[in-house]
Chains A and B, each alone.
Chain A
């Protein structure tokens, strides 16, 4: 073919008229197919060249949905993994909503696979059935005589690539209920050899993160922010930045939350931001210190809780504990924690030719910034487009109810004449000092045990800063005043504990609170599992046996939790640690998955602890991509252990004390010597994997430290208690 480069536009146009088959959902939720990709927002798009593209409705922060949802399509279509590609879905809360979130598109709560498992399989199965039907018609054969494998349709003495039937298939009706494969027919789902689709690009520098977006003629914007939350910008004097090469301008954001500094390059923006001077109004600024926050929480734990979470007869519980043979009691405190995803927050906003707004973002909950942008720019919802690109981690930080950084970018953009795209860039300091943290929490627990070592009463108080109150999520996350995320993992624990009371008191927020990988479970699992350990030790019963005696009911919840506990104990050779080593165990259910972990350490708290090995057992239902699940457990264990070893965010008179990684030290490669993950085979629907590995990690380590050193750590981080790590 003679390709004339001057006619590329035409060639492209011609290619776009090539047949495609798209399969997705109609707004009423029914499966639908079309030959026109603009008519439907699909889950899968198939070109007449045979290319198959999974359209991923969840964002990819490393947790694997790009691979996972593609696997579902490829499985049902009989493709191999190298025959499928992926693209991120546009923002559309009707079609690409998270079915567990309602009419909202977004990723969180470890739900990506759980809410997509049937949808994407159905789309793949429908595409397969339609292509088979089209082939049967073309060949005058019976559908039942045809088969589909590796992108080829064969039967009736013929064989042809699927692309040949795309045009004809696009004219067919989508089957209402395509036949899904029986699990016994799975070749990809559950196959540990399936590789990630994004590995190569992430290893050779070609992967495109939001930070890598360089729109033609874009400006960089950085924001000068107040030191204290809720202080506001009054005015800016930018004369100090005038000589900086590449500096463009500076202006107070319309919402007064800060000052936008515009420059031709990131370095110029950084320098200019340092050089301007801003007058701040601190009359409403936060002035509390973290010591005060801690004192408020500790005081709340000593008072009668505001909410009786499980409507317990608290007096009876207290009497049972008071009359017990042994009482174990502890008060815990958990500090503020930053998420610190590796890629600092950023996004790019531009105005399209038709006056619409286009944002490029590693976007976790597109529906929230989508609405915010429409409102800020006064354009209809349909005139806002969000192009989701790879996100360099999140751990919850990229999803704020206020769409914080996207709104900030939009505010900055409104200061310009909109002729140039604006790429908002945060520094690491912006990130660590932004004020969005895992809230501080305290727990006070008293457990009474009888002479045989049985729990006869468990009084549990929780106090801390609610995440959901005051956000759009309050309506469904807060019931009778109780923010479930403050107590999840306690009152709903599968442990069958008799005579238990759970109380909650909200304390005032000093910073913005935000879900942080595993949300409430980040503190509740620690408390539950350290208390179980303390109780077991106090009555001289093996910690695994002790836990199992509260998991011996026939409910699946108890059985699944008991099974991971036993598997982790067995694989870690529980109770038989080599000389010089100590073990600790913890087990927790979160996001409908069950995870048990054994941490084995050497050394002592005084001389330095080395984490030699973590053995993990997980039950997350059907393991769609076993290797991705293992990787998520490895990462979640590191996330849980790293922060609890040595990290906290503190405030002095409202000002964050930490600046950058040197004072918020990340987990390093030498901190954990080995992690081994075992997956429980299961036919249950798939549940979460991104978060559930985090909650048991720190308590298992704490229990190992207690076994080695008689040091019970109840105030985090661990190194504030004289525990050192090597």
Chain B
């Protein structure tokens, strides 16, 4: 079945079953590999993308539910003001270790900063709770979000 998806501003037809998770269509059909698979059960956040600007777990989002919606992946985040600030902060503070969770971390962090431009440490912890990092880069993720907030304020 053909479904049309609008990813990073571009509408594309994909030939996939309606119940296919968005994650696999993005990775396997659209060949955009920045969005990661970590658990498949919405408990790690590695697959986080934006749906109409809101972070969602792509492994538990099905393509027939998102036809026509604006889907944004990490590949488009450099063009987003908040995304670019986060990426700059991530490099300044060397947040990453293995890096595998970090696309998802940045997607979630962008959702947080859109909602709350100056989050406290506790607010960051609450919002980012579902984004696991097995390398435990959490302290730098927290600092990175606060640094991005600073960059955006300036």
Contacts and interface: CB of A to CB of B under 8 A. Distances in A.
Contacts of A668: 129, 132, 138
Given A662-B41, A669-B128, A670-B126, A631 B97 contact: yes
Contact of A203 (B20, B35, B106, B136): B106
Nearest to B129: A668
A393 B124 contact: no
A202 interface: yes
Nearest to A642: B136
Nearest to A207: B99
B141 interface: yes
Contact of B98 (A341, A628, A675): A341
Interface stretch (A119-127, A191-199, A536-544, A547-555): A191-199
Nearest to B27: A266
B146 interface: no
B117 interface: no
B60 interface: no
Contact of A393 (B17, B94, B135): B135
Given A204-B87, A342-B98, A390-B98, A634 B33 contact: no
B71 interface: no
A564 interface: no
Interface in A663-719: 666-675
B89 to A, nearest CB: 9
A669 B43 contact: no
B96 A62 contact: yes
Contacts of A667: 132, 136, 138
Contacts of A638: 135-136, 138
Contacts of A628: 94
A392 B100 contact: yes
B44 A666 contact: yes
Contacts of A29: none
Interface in A197-211: 198-209, 211
A418 interface: no
Nearest to A206: B34
Nearest to B33: A212
Interface string B88-111: 001100111111111100100000
B136 A639 contact: yes
Contacts of A61: 98
Q: For chain A, which range describes its interface: under 10, 10 to 19, 20 to 34, or 35 or more residues? A: 35 or more
Interface string B20-40: 110010011101111111111
Interface string A38-64: 000000000000000000000011111
B44 A661 contact: yes
A267 B21 contact: yes
Nearest to B91: A199
Contact of A211 (B36, B137, B140): B36
Nearest to A199: B91
A392 B98 contact: yes
B137 A660 contact: no
Interface string A341-354: 11110000000000
A202 B24 contact: no
Nearest to B31: A214
B139 A634 contact: yes
Interface in B1-59: 16-17, 20-21, 24, 27-29, 31-41, 43-44, 46
Most buried by B among A60, A201, A214, A668: A668
A449 interface: no
A62 B129 contact: no
Contacts of A390: 98-99
Contacts of A363: none
Nearest to B97: A62
Most buried by B among A196, A204, A266, A632: A204
Interface string B65-81: 00000000111011000
B128 to A, nearest CB: 5
Contacts of B140: 631, 634
B125 interface: yes
A199 B33 contact: no
B142 interface: yes
A60 to B, nearest CB: 8
A154 interface: no
A468 to B, nearest CB: 25
A627 interface: yes
A635 B97 contact: yes
B98 A267 contact: no
B139 A674 contact: yes
Nearest to B98: A62
Interface in A535-583: none
Contact of B131 (A63, A201, A266, A669): A669
Contact of B28 (A266, A342, A392, A674): A266
B114 interface: no
Contacts of B90: 199, 203
A392 B43 contact: no
Contact of A669 (B29, B97, B129): B129
A666 B132 contact: yes
Nearest to A339: B134
Contact of A661 (B17, B35, B41): B41
Contact of B39 (A200, A632, A660): A660
A209 B38 CA distance: 13
B24 A669 contact: no
Contacts of B91: 195, 199-200, 203
Contacts of A265: 24, 28-29
A340 interface: yes
Interface string A210-253: 01101000001000000000000000000000000100000000
Nearest to B75: A205
B33 A245 contact: no
A261 to B, nearest CB: 15
B113 interface: no
A344 B37 contact: yes
B43 A662 contact: yes
Contacts of B27: 266
A341 B36 CA distance: 13
B10 to A, nearest CB: 16
Given A341-B98, A342-B101, A635-B137, 20 more contacts: A62-B99, A199-B90, A202-B96, A203-B86, A203-B99, A205-B77, A267-B20, A342-B100, A390-B98, A392-B101, A631-B94, A634-B136, A638-B138, A660-B40, A660-B43, A666-B133, A666-B134, A668-B129, A669-B141, A669-B142
7 contacts: A61-B98, A200-B91, A220-B28, A267-B28, A342-B135, A669-B131, A675-B139
Instruction: Kindly list the 10 A-B residue pairs having the minimum CB-CB distance in the complex, ordered from nearest.
Output: A205-B34, A638-B136, A392-B100, A202-B99, A62-B97, A62-B98, A205-B74, A212-B33, A670-B125, A267-B24
